[in-house]
Structure 1
């Protein structure tokens, strides 16, 4: 367990290959930064006091936050521009997620079209919505954002092709200037994440592979030759309660070797490589 040695006010930013880096000045906009380290995600963004409890003398440096989308599961009373500024100045790396319409074979959600042309256009439309949400939260124009695709029990060829088209639209639109960094989250196997390599491919992936192994290089059903340049996050454990400094939150466990939203790069846990 590491104690974080980040000074918001006056610590020099160390080289990424080195140890702990400083958070940036208080008036800086959080932007794309690199992270090697552990994190968590939760349905609702915690309060500032809860974030502090999970920061002080814990293993965690990153938090996944659901910034919007028609299928977002929780309200977000804490998630504001001021909240983003406060937690990133504390040193947190954020992983913004957008939860729009889902694979047509996934039950219980709103869906994008099974028609690949329409699905592609819908992916572009969701990217615009995500960009607007990020802008409203004070995130810089190069910030990473992940599309949350919940994996169905099984997918037909029609659903797979539609999903791949949707992802291409999502990525293509986010790459329009001012370009964002486009990511996709889904199950590494049942979400067929390794099939999203067709150009334009996501800049990074977040693979749900609940094997308890922190290493991002170890992902079931994902080729070791794909997304190899610091382009991976891994959700290695599903929802469970954790208590730190007297505060309990239901979280998923994550490991990162990829882009996040922050004020400085951070290299804190080589096991996540």
Structure 2
């Protein structure tokens, strides 16, 4: 059984209140592009505006994994237009922006980064520029906006492959931190994508999004991630893999997420906790 948490619905009234507050004490520009969330979310390849609306109205969901593109993003998956993303924002969604570029060299993906660490580093920087350009095309405020690299699982016992991945992510984070800096995140299997190894690279990701399909929502416990790493609202957790859910008469195959970290856009969503912390 799903337990619903009531979300604000009086958007017009809320907008008026926020406008009045803004005239008195405007938020710093750096805060406009992200907020921290402690709420549940979903992501799906076959989403649409109608499905997203059905999964918003009177559901537990506040957040949505929004795929912005990339060379390894499934050809049959949804490509969102700027107009559609604006509609999602109008519903009230906050986003976990995901970029699915080339994958580790020891995988079978058609798009892979190099096993040469110097080349992989350069490719990581290129992917960061690409996601930045995608955000600009959506007319987002890119300063401090979170961007999450989707790095699927690979053989982390293969030292050459792991070193290439570390170098690639190092380049991804370095480039996203070039002004106007974004918040650099990494998604992947909490164990099989080597997430914790990125805590030791020169440019450490600002946050992680770990896939740990334990069914436990709490982000404080993620397999293969020590409790002392990424502790300051720096975690999202995909706690359940692909499964069908039905809301408002609409069925969609989704992954389930819980957040204790940055989402786009602001403001913070730190009320009505759902067990994600």
State whether TM-score is above 0.5. Answer: yes
Which residue does 1:232 correspond to in 2? 235
Which residue does 2:273 correspond to in 1? 269
Which residue does 1:187 correspond to in 2? 189
Q: Distance in 1 between matches of 2:62 and 2:246?
A: 16
Measured against aligned partners, the alpha-carbon deviations of 1:186-223 in whole angstroms (never above 9, x if no partner) come to 11111110010122111110000000000000101001
Q: Distance in 2 between matches of 1:154 and 1:179?
A: 30
Matches within 5 A, 1:41-80: 41-44=43-46, 46-75=47-76, 79-80=80-81
Verify the 8 A CA contact 2:34 2:264 in the aligned structure 1: yes
CA apart distance, 1:263: 4.1
Q: Distance in 2 between matches of 1:100 and 1:189?
A: 20
Verify the 8 A CA contact 2:155 2:161 in the aligned structure 1: no
Which residue does 2:225 correspond to in 1? 222
Q: Distance in 1 between matches of 2:240 and 2:174?
A: 30
Residue 243 (1) aligns with residue 249 (2)? no
Which residue does 1:111 correspond to in 2? 112
Q: Secondary structure at the match of 2:149?
A: strand
Which residue does 2:38 correspond to in 1? 36
Q: Distance in 2 between matches of 1:214 and 1:36?
A: 11
Distance change (3 Å), C-alpha of 1:32 and 1:102:
same
CA apart distance, 1:233: 0.3
Distance change (3 Å), C-alpha of 1:7 and 1:76:
farther
Measured against aligned partners, the alpha-carbon deviations of 1:221-263 in whole angstroms (never above 9, x if no partner) come to 0011110000000001111111100011110010000001124
Measured against aligned partners, the alpha-carbon deviations of 1:139-165 in whole angstroms (never above 9, x if no partner) come to 211211100001025541000000000
Verify the 8 A CA contact 2:68 2:79 in the aligned structure 1: no
- Greater mean deviation of Cα atoms: 203-212 or 79-88: 79-88
Verify the 8 A CA contact 1:89 1:263 in the aligned structure 2: no
Q: TM-score, normalised by structure 1?
A: 0.89
Structure with greater proportional helix content: 2
Give the RMSD, CA atoms, in angstroms: 1.7
Q: Distance in 1 between matches of 2:154 and 2:235?
A: 22
CA apart distance, 1:269: 2.2
CA apart distance, 1:8: 2.6
Q: Secondary structure at the match of 2:134?
A: helix
Q: TM-score, normalised by structure 2?
A: 0.88
Q: Secondary structure at the match of 2:161?
A: helix
Matches within 5 A, 1:11-30: 11=14, 12=17
Q: Distance in 2 between matches of 1:183 and 1:78?
A: 21
**Could you list the runs of 5+ residues in structure 1 that have no partner in the other structure?**
14-28
Q: Secondary structure at the match of 1:94?
A: strand
Verify the 8 A CA contact 2:40 2:274 in the aligned structure 1: no
Verify the 8 A CA contact 2:156 2:162 in the aligned structure 1: no
Which residue does 2:27 correspond to in 1? none
